[in-house]
Each structure stands twice: as C-alpha cells, then as structure tokens.
Structure 1
Amino acid sequence: MPAARESLLDAACAALAHRPWSAVRMVDVAASAGVSRQTLYNEFGGKDGLARALVHREAERYLAGVERALAGCAGALDRLTAAAEWTAVAARDNVLVRAMLTGCWTEWLPTPPLA
C-alpha cells in the first residue's frame, strides 16, 4: 500500500478516536497525514471512498490476525479457542473491528456504503 494512502488511513483512524465520523473533515485528515486535500480526494474519491478503504483495511488486518492465531494449532478445539481469543482482543482494541463483527455501526464509525 503506498505510503500516502496508508498515512491517510491512519489519520482517519486517529480522527475517529476524537470525534464521530460525521464530524471527521477531509481537510483535517489530509493535514494530519501531511498531504494535500487533493491527494486525499485523488486517492479515495471522497469521504465514502475513504470509509470503504478504512473498513477494508481493518477487515484485512483482522483476518491476517486470525490466520496468525491459527498457525500452529493442531486440533479443532485449539483452533476455535485461538480464533475466539484473537477476536476478543481485536474487538476490544479496535472500534472498527468491533463494529464489523457486531454490525453495530453508529455515528462514531463510517458506515460502509453499499456497492
């Protein structure tokens, strides 16, 4: 993932720690990432595109964590336990993962647009 894109996603994630998604401004995300607002719009097309990319990235990170948790587990019970433990930690530590797993999208999170 290009550095500017990753920085923008990190900045959007950080913004969610301080205000609801409805109050996250593209200009603030761009400034926090150290890029122009035009770069942000070129990369994501708009706020919906940023939300979609943010949710996609966090889902990929969650699934990569599940794969790491399952590595080396032999039996079904061990695999189930490892997946459950990773899921609990990921959901506790990441509000986007928690929303993805529970479907509890609120004004604090970017509701993924349909499409």
Structure 2
Amino acid sequence: MPAARETLLEAAGAALAARPWPAVRMVDVAAAAGVSRQTLYNEFGGKSGLGRALVRREGERYLEGVERALTVPGRTAERLAAVAEWTVRAARAYPLVRALLTGFWDPDLPAAGRAPGPGELARTVRDRAVAVLMPAADAERCELAVRLALSYVVAPGEEPGAGELLRLLSAQNRTAGAR
C-alpha cells in the first residue's frame, strides 16, 4: 500500500508539527489519513515503527534537496553554496532534519532508530557533492560547505545568504590554491 503509507506519513508529519511526538495518537493519525487504525498498524507495526519511518523519510527528503541544490546552474562554488543554504533552511524548518544533522534528539521527537548520525550524514552529502561536481570539486571543498552549513545549524545566527556563503567558499578556494 504505497499510497496509504505515504498518506500516513504525511498525517504523522502534520500531527508532529502540531504537538510533541508523545502526544501524537495513532488513532488520530489513521483518521487524518482516512484509513483504519489496523491499516496503520499493518503498515508500521506500531508508533515506534511509524516514528522511524517518519525520521527516514525526512532524511531522504533532505538528501533530495541536496541533490536539487547540486544541479542548480552555476560554478562549483555556487552549487556548494546552494547545498549549504538548503541545509540551513531545512534544519530551521524541519525539526527532524535538525536532529539528524546535529544528533540532538529532543524528547518531543520520535526516536531515530538506526538513522544515520551527523557525521555519516555529512559524509553522505560530501560524497554526493563530489560525485555530481567532479572533476570541478574536491572532497575538501565539499566537506567545507557541509561543515559551514552545520555551523549555522548548531550555532544559529542570521541566516546566511547565498552571496555570503559563496564568498566564504570562494575565499577558501583561493586560500587553498595559494598553498
């Protein structure tokens, strides 16, 4: 039931946006999705299974956004700035993405289960960037873009614009080239 599964995940995401995970009730998620509670249990096994699936889906959506950012027209530094900008925006907008990127799991969120840790997720983003941008980019620049974005997630400040991120990434490239 792929359609029911996605509808249930959408309903669970909406419920989580409205209240903490411990207050999310399976009966409410099923009703919002327009399916029976038994269908929900058949699909996910229980609330913890639903939570793990929700965490996985948010991680996948974040990585899909990374892929989109890597395909924006422009130079390598512009694409890496787009990845960094997306990372900051996604972490601010989606608590599950923020938890995946930082490793901090608020008790109001579903448990991660076997979700990738922050280091693993950063390496995945770096590796995808290298794969898309090669030979124009090296792993060090891709890693820098991810870590720069994570610094804005962990220590929030004014959201950086693409121009600021591009300047920082371009400056690093000139410094590395001067060595």
Task: Using structure 2 for the length normalisation, give the TM-score.
Answer: 0.59
Q: Distance in 2 between matches of 1:69 and 1:26?
A: 35
Q: Distance in 2 between matches of 1:38 and 1:73?
A: 49
Partner of 1:26: 26
Kindly state the Cα deviation for residue 74 of structure 1 after the two structures are TM-superposed.
3.2
Runs of 4+ deviating beyond 4 Å: none
Kindly state the Cα deviation for residue 110 of structure 1 after the two structures are TM-superposed.
0.5
| Greater displacement, 103-112 / 27-36 | 103-112
Partner of 2:146: none
Partner of 1:95: 95
Q: Distance in 2 between matches of 1:36 and 1:83?
A: 40
Partner of 2:75: 74
Q: Distance in 1 between matches of 2:43 and 2:34?
A: 14
Q: Distance in 1 between matches of 2:84 and 2:114?
A: 28
Q: Distance in 1 between matches of 2:68 and 2:26?
A: 34
Partner of 2:153: none
Q: Distance in 1 between matches of 2:110 and 2:45?
A: 15
Letter in 2 for 1:92: R
- Bigger relative CO (Cα 8 Å, ≥ 6 apart): 1
CA contact under 8 A between 1:62 and 1:97: conserved in structure 2? yes
Distance 1:40-1:57 versus aligned 2 partners, 3 A rule: same
Partner of 2:61: 61
What is the SS of the residue equivalent to 1:14? helix
Post-superposition CA distance 1:2-54 (Å, at most 9, x none): 21111110111111122211111111111111100000000001111111111
Identity %: 70
Task: Using structure 1 for the length normalisation, give the TM-score.
Answer: 0.90
Post-superposition CA distance 1:53-87 (Å, at most 9, x none): 11111111110110100113432x22321110011
Partner of 1:48: 48
What is the SS of the residue equivalent to 1:108? coil
Paired residue total: 114
Q: Distance in 2 between matches of 1:96 and 1:58?
A: 7
What is the SS of the residue equivalent to 1:104? coil
Instruction: Look at both structures and tell me which one has the larger radius of gyration over its CA atoms.
Output: 2
What is the SS of the residue equivalent to 2:18? coil
Q: Distance in 1 between matches of 2:15 and 2:94?
A: 13
Kindly state the Cα deviation for residue 114 of structure 1 after the two structures are TM-superposed.
4.2
What is the SS of the residue equivalent to 2:19? coil
